[in-house]
Amino acid sequence: MTRFSTPLRLVSLAAALAWSASALAAEPGALIQGSKFSITTADIQADALRMPQEMRSIVLAKPQTVTQIASNLYARRSIAQQAEADGLDKDPTIAAALQIARDKVLSDAWMEKMDKANEPKPEAAEAMARAAYKAKPERFKADEQVRARHILVAGTNAESRAKADKILADLKAGGDFTKLAKEHSADKSNADKGGDLGFFGRGQMVPEFESVAFALTKKGDLSGVVESKFGFHIIQLEEKKPAGIRPYDEVKADLVKEISASVKQEARVAHAQKMQQGVTTNAEAIAAFAAKYAAEHPTAPTAPNAGSAQQKPAVK
């Protein structure tokens, strides 16, 4: 179940509330209409704010997921109205939670508005980016890199070796590397791109592969058959980048983005500092609350080696 899916029970409840109720005339923009309220496109768009930006166009372009989200919202709102009728919104803790939720929505909206107001003009951001590039060129040092493509024959037995030898012979006889990679490479992450791995530096590939790839000198150079734990590789050099300072045009987009984020963050910090003026902290009250909470909620014992159990081995 994805993070945006709805529990079946909740969907069923929403359906019962939405479609078995005696519905009023549908409101403009209503996606689900009940006897007392509807779920509109505005509700869907507001709920979508919780999703990562890149996910919204995927989720909201499918009628099935929009139906699911709308059903969930209808169920939640129906239950919330029942909770209000039961007076739960008068409970101090729940009332505080509602206030905090409201504060978050409004403060997020205000900060987004503030960020837009403080977004530097493109020409100003680029000027600052150029200045940052010139001020600390050491930031943009790059080690030697190669761009290569490969064909991987899986397995390390004699049959796999024979297949790799045959592919290499075909390449030396004028075979098209891109075509042969699409047909034969077991590395499906790049086979459709003709085995193109893009640029990579030292330490990113297994040692056997890396040493051969960096030893190739001219575009189009072919390696012999290279064995690694993944099988047998045939490598072709596409391009080499010597170690040095990356050119400005190569880092411009990232620098402009960094500058823009920095300007907006500085504006946020300045505003936060302004809001802190005249604010006092009641240290005694905080200490008393913490002590009372600690007494009422003893810390659960930590499982042995709990930290080490979460560690994951590095993958190259």
Give, for all 316 residues of the chain, the pLDDT tens digit: 344 444 444 444 444 444 444 344 455 679 999 988 999 999 999 999 888 888 888 999 999 999 999 999 999 999 999 999 999 999 999 999 999 999 999 999 999 999 999 999 999 999 999 999 999 999 999 999 999 999 999 999 999 999 999 999 999 999 999 999 999 999 999 999 999 999 999 999 999 999 999 999 999 999 999 999 999 999 999 999 999 999 999 999 999 999 999 999 999 999 999 999 999 999 999 999 999 999 999 875 554 454 444 443 333 3
**Dihedral angle sign, alpha carbons of residues 22, 25, 31, 36:** negative
Predicted local confidence at residue 302, as pLDDT = 53
The secondary structure of 58-90 as a DSSP string is HHTT-HHHHHHHHHHHHHHHHHHHHHHHTTGGG
Q: Is residue 134 part of a domain?
A: yes
**Whether residue 131 sits in one domain with residue 268:** yes
Model-wide pTM > 0.85: no
**Helix (H), strand (E) at residue 1:** none
Q: How many C-alpha atoms does 173 have within 13 Å on its Cβ side? A: 7
* Residue numbers of the domain that contains 209: 144-242
| Distance (Å, whole) CA 248 – CA 229 | 39
Last residue of a domain, one of 63, 86, 109: 86
**Helix (H), strand (E) at residue 205:** none
Residue whose pair of structure tokens reads 């909740």 in the numeric block:
10
**Whether residue 132 sits in one domain with residue 42:** no
Phi, psi of 171 (to 5 degrees): -65, -45
In angstroms, the Cα distances linking 28 to 18, 39, 130, 245, 281 are 16, 10, 51, 58, 49
Q: Is residue 294 part of a domain?
A: no
Predicted local confidence at residue 300, as pLDDT = 56
Give the CATH number of the domain where residue 169 resides.
Answer: 3.10.50.40
**Whether residue 70 sits in one domain with residue 24:** yes
Largest alpha-carbon pair distance within the chain?
83
Predicted local confidence at residue 52, as pLDDT = 86
**Whether residue 260 sits in one domain with residue 125:** yes
The answer to whether residues 116 and 265 touch, using CB atoms and an 8 Å cutoff, is no
Strand-by-strand arrangement of the 222-228 sheet: 196-201, 145-154, 231-241, 222-228
Angle of CA points 228, 229, 231, to nearest 5°: 65
The answer to whether residues 226 and 210 touch, using CB atoms and an 8 Å cutoff, is no
**Whether residue 150 sits in one domain with residue 127:** no
Q: Is residue 65 part of a domain?
A: yes
For 33, the 3-state DSSP assignment is strand
**Whether residue 165 sits in one domain with residue 112:** no
For 38, the 3-state DSSP assignment is strand
Q: What's the alpha-carbon Rg for the chain, to the nearest Å?
A: 30
**Helix (H), strand (E) at residue 272:** helix 248-275
Q: Is residue 296 part of a domain?
A: no
Q: Is residue 75 part of a domain?
A: yes
Q: How large is the angle between the packed helices 63-85 and 8-19, nearest 10 degrees?
A: 80
**Whether residue 154 sits in one domain with residue 220:** yes
| Distance (Å, whole) CA 156 – CA 161 | 7
The answer to whether residues 139 and 250 touch, using CB atoms and an 8 Å cutoff, is no
Q: Is residue 304 part of a domain?
A: no
Last residue of a domain, one of 218, 242, 266: 242
**Whether residue 80 sits in one domain with residue 96:** no
**Whether residue 167 sits in one domain with residue 212:** yes
**Whether residue 74 sits in one domain with residue 98:** no
Q: Is residue 213 part of a domain?
A: yes
The answer to whether residues 72 and 38 touch, using CB atoms and an 8 Å cutoff, is no
Q: Is residue 14 part of a domain?
A: yes
**Whether residue 204 sits in one domain with residue 63:** no
**Whether residue 130 sits in one domain with residue 50:** no
Tell me how many domains the chain contains.
3
Last residue of a domain, one of 180, 215, 242: 242
Listed residue (151, 305, 313) closest to 226, CA to CA: 151
